[in-house]
Amino acid sequence: MARLLTVLLAMLLGAAAVFGADTRWSRASTEHFVVSGDAPAAVIGQLAARLESLRSVFLEALPRVNDRSLQRTFVIVFGSDRAFAPYRPAGVTVGGFAVHEPFMPCLVLRSDRADPAEDAFRTVVHEYVHVLADEPRMPLWLIEGMADYYSVTTLSRDRRRAAVGERIAPHVAQAQQWWVPLPQVLETPRTSPLANDESSMSFYAESWLLVHHLMRATPEKGSQIAKFIDRLSSGATEAPAFEQAIGPPAKVEVALRRYLGTLPLYGVERPVARSVEDAAARARPMTPAEVDATLARLSFHLRRDGEADARLEAAIGADASLAEAMVTIGMLRARQGRKAEALTSFRRVVALDPADLLAAYRLGLLALEGGQPAREPSFEEAYAALSRAAEGRSRLPPEPLATLGTLAGRIGRLSEAEPLLRQASGRDARQPATRLELANVCLRIGKFQEAREILSGLVAGSDSLVAPSARRCLEWLGLAEARARLRAELAAIAGLSDAGPDRAIARTGTFPSPPRLRTPGAGEERRLGLLDAVDCPGAEFIARVSTLDGAVSVSTASFAGVHLSSARDDVKGSLPCGVRQGREPVYVTWKGDHQLVAIEFLPEDLQPGRALPSSPSPCSAALPPSVYSSLGRREARPRTASSRRAVPQRAAGTFAVTCSTQFGTTTRPRRSTPGHSWSGCTKATPRPSGVSPPSAAMWDDTASDCGSAKAMRGTVARASPPAERIRVDMIRFTPSR
């Protein structure tokens, strides 16, 4: 039934694709952008060239660039409000917005709002700065402050020069009228759901002001921001990192308040390193399949899965070689938990376009999340695809770096895995899954101390997913150290200078189970050695073994009473008499006058000088697939609403009223009249000037809430207008869920 509905929806939407083609949808592609839309082709090309030129400015001007996108930035330009309206998210009042799926940036705007002076264009540039400066540990004030600072960057007519950091008048006015203490701004968490109230608007204004001050009014000219980011990336917490790199918040706040009155009006001019001419971004007509694929991608970002599914079916049905549709449907299937279909799609993308980094990265994650023994795709297939896609790229984001390093470790390429994982960990030092994989490599190449330090830190850390796996790896580390000692002793017995690499543990992720050994009894003695020969003079059985203490001969009159065990496939049952050509590693046990008690054959992979092939090890306890999938975890902040200055109008219904006073904060459910939405009360009187509640009844309810806030201190049980003893700091109305 679901399939039938999808097909019917695809048939209904098919006309839309043809309609898009009839209205001459165009596309312009540059090195870092794909701009598509039903706006005039000249507008499409000019926008692509302008964005590419701005990117070169940002690469030079940003304190730290960290572009984590795995695809070119996708820009959709609608030629009219009629075309734009069906895709406008709730709450967006300007003509542009951004939707961020991890690694797949997408910007949307109306062509009549594509002028640099328009809020819509500034919104799109603001969001693109987030793409370029997507440091996972940056606090919210720095994320938003930098994006606003660079959002008003303008290019000269010939695009040879740019003005960076112009004054944003609404921010100046907001900070002057409603100042929020700087510590409160700095402590706002990255995941904070900022609303359209005065405090949130002041947060944006003061974040921009702080960045503007650091970039323009300090001797360091923004270099302290880079130092701050470096400290965070190395694991420091925000408060001490801010004080060490920027200064004490109280002192910075004083300078900031002073700077607010002397803000320069114009930006700082700087040359454009790579100006792109319109001719270099000339738009071409799009096919109906490309139009469907473009709108499907936007629907995917907006989480309209049914619409995305239908358009993708139409696009692929019209053009089975359209890689952009294939990668989107692969991402959609992965989000829906349909891994087998996602795998099929990503494989097709890799075959169509081996340079598609996103498809290859997702293929790698599927390999690491898969189960043994029927793993699909194999580590080898995923490694080959991802290494091909990464070829020639000067700087990879930490997530594909970590995934490629992990895959290299799984197939025994430890010399490649180690530097890849070190690079990934260096770019995101607090990603526990990457550090776990690095420790896994270190314990296999003999860097035991470093492995122990990393694993001990992970066990003591707060990540509940990685800590149990780190404890398991600490057990493996103990086994690896024991194996190293055993192999070194056997190599010395064999007269070798070095035991060589331990091929049995050359692949990461699992560890061979240690052989079960007999516990020596009272009066018994056990030695490690190499079995040289078995002599059988008459009825006697004599085993000659080389040990570190020299040659040892042990004998027995009857082999029937000897304990014989073997962890080797080529030694089973009984021992033939004669010289042992292989000189197998054994533990030999005797008592009294070298009376043989036991011979225990150790695994073949411990044999000195034997170059065994690297193969998947028998697994004592593999790391859970959930640890592998955490390599792809990253914090995604939905960014569908871009207008932060407009206050949304609410319909009638039940609302939660949040009231903050000098006595505390309280939230209570209330009934509201249509259109009621206001915030920002600072007067001591219950009816601040300039703010008109829709009805006296609503105000009485609000006064009850404020009175309840006061009652939190036990002062009074209730307050009614015009009780001026209550200072109302903030009143917010939000729909009850």
- Among candidates 95, 91, 54, 93, which has minimal Cα distance to 73? 54
Fill in the DSSP letter of residue 133. Answer: B
More confident residue, 396 or 10: 396
Q: Is 731's pLDDT higher than 70?
A: no
pLDDT for res 629: 45
Counting Cα atoms < 13 Å in the Cβ hemisphere of 160 gives 1
Listing DSSP states for 195-222 in one string gives: -SSHHHHHHHHHHHHHHHHHHHSSTTTT
In the block, which residue shows the tokens 């112009």?
A: 166
Q: Is 636's pLDDT higher than 50?
A: no
Q: Is 9's pLDDT higher than 50?
A: no
164-173 burial: b if 16+ Cβ within 10 Å, else e? bbbebeebbe
Q: Is 276's pLDDT higher than 50?
A: yes
Q: pLDDT (tens digit, 9 = 90+) per residue, 329-354?
A: 999 999 999 999 999 999 999 999 99
Q: Are strands 104-110 and 33-37 parallel, antiparallel or unpaired?
A: unpaired
pLDDT for res 481: 93
> Judging by beta carbons within 10 Å of its beta carbon (0-12, 13-18, 19+), is residue 218 exposed, middle or buried?
middle
The amino acid at residue 149 is Y
Q: pLDDT (tens digit, 9 = 90+) per residue, 282-320?
A: 999 999 999 999 999 999 999 999 999 999 999 999 999
pLDDT for res 651: 34
Contact 265, 102 (CB under 8 A): no
More confident residue, 434 or 736: 434
**Separation of alpha carbons 423 and 152, rounded Å:** 34
> Judging by beta carbons within 10 Å of its beta carbon (0-12, 13-18, 19+), is residue 526 exposed, middle or buried?
middle
pLDDT for res 96: 82
pLDDT for res 118: 64
Give, rounded to a whole angstrom, the gap between the first and last alpha carbons of the chain. 31
In the block, which residue shows the tokens 């960045």?
A: 211
Alpha-helical segments (H) within 411-465 = 414-427, 432-444, 448-460
Q: pLDDT (tens digit, 9 = 90+) per residue, 91-110?
A: 777 778 888 777 899 999 88
Beta-carbon contacts of 40 under 8 Å, excluding residues fewer than 6 positions away, are 26, 79, 111
Q: Is 726's pLDDT higher than 70?
A: no
3-state SS, one letter per residue, for 544-579 = EEEECCEEEEEEECCHHHCEEEECCCCCCCCCCCEE
Q: Is 256's pLDDT higher than 80?
A: yes
Backbone dihedral angles phi then psi of residue 94, each to the nearest 5 degrees: -95, 170
More confident residue, 622 or 150: 150
pLDDT for res 488: 93
Taking residues 641-649, what's their average pLDDT?
34
Q: pLDDT (tens digit, 9 = 90+) per residue, 428-453?
A: 776 889 999 999 999 999 999 999 99
**Separation of alpha carbons 513 and 639, rounded Å:** 49
Taking residues 246-272, what's their average pLDDT?
92
Q: Which residues pair with 546 in a beta bridge?
A: 530, 551
Cα three-residue angle 372-373-378, rounded to 5 degrees? 80
In the block, which residue shows the tokens 């006064």?
A: 703
Q: Is 685's pLDDT higher than 90?
A: no
Q: Is 648's pLDDT higher than 70?
A: no
Percent of the chain past pLDDT 90, that is, above it, reads: 50
**Separation of alpha carbons 494 and 515, rounded Å:** 21
Q: Is 604's pLDDT higher than 90?
A: no
H/E stretch holding 649 reads none
**Separation of alpha carbons 639 and 650, rounded Å:** 21
pLDDT for res 449: 97
Taking residues 197-226, what's their average pLDDT?
91
pLDDT for res 620: 35
Rg (alpha carbons) of the chain, rounded to whole number: 34
**Separation of alpha carbons 394 and 583, rounded Å:** 50
pLDDT for res 114: 58
**Separation of alpha carbons 72 and 693, rounded Å:** 48
User: In the β-sheet with 664-672, what is the strand arrangement from edge to edge?
Assistant: 664-672, 653-661, 728-735
The winner for highest mean pLDDT among 154-158, 368-372, 597-601 is 597-601
Q: How many residues does the chain have?
A: 737
Backbone dihedral angles phi then psi of residue 699, each to the nearest 5 degrees: -65, -35
- Among candidates 238, 150, 232, which has minimal Cα distance to 189? 238
More confident residue, 526 or 621: 526
Q: Is 686's pLDDT higher than 60?
A: no
In the block, which residue shows the tokens 């580590």?
A: 379
pLDDT for res 703: 43
Q: pLDDT (tens digit, 9 = 90+) per residue, 58-85?
A: 988 888 787 888 999 999 999 888 899 9
pLDDT for res 21: 39
Contact 435, 454 (CB under 8 A): yes
Domains of the chain with bracketed CATH: 1-24+288-353 (1.25.40.10), 26-166+268-285 (3.40.30), 167-265 (no CATH), 354-512+615-644 (1.25.40), 524-602 (2.40.50), 653-735 (no CATH)
Taking residues 127-139, what's their average pLDDT?
83
Mean pLDDT across the chain = 79
